[in-house]
Structure 1
Amino acid sequence: MDLLKTNSMQKVLKTFVLIFLGTMALTISAKLKIPFYPVPMTMQTFVVLFLGLAFGYKIGFATVSIYLLEGIIGIPVFSNSPEKGVGLVYFTGPTMGYLIGFLSAVFFAGYLNLKNNIFIIFSKLIFSVSTIYLFGVLWLGTLIGWDKPILELGVTPFLLAELFKICLLTILAKKIINFRKFI
Structure 2
Amino acid sequence: MSVDAISALHQRVSVPRLTGPVPTVEQQQAIFQAALRAPDHAYLRPWRFLVMQGEQLEALGELFGQSALADTPDLSADTLARFQGLPLRAPLVIVAISCHQEHPKVPAIEQDLACGAAVSNMLLAAHALGLGAVWRTGALAYHPLIKRGLGLAENEQIIAFLYVGQPAGERKQVPQLNVDDFFQPWPPQA
Common topology (TM > 0.5) = no
More helix by share: 1
TM-score, structure 1 normalization: 0.29
> Radius of gyration: which is bigger?
2
More strand by share: 2
TM-score, structure 2 normalization: 0.28
The structure with higher relative contact order (CA 8 Å, sep 6+) is 2
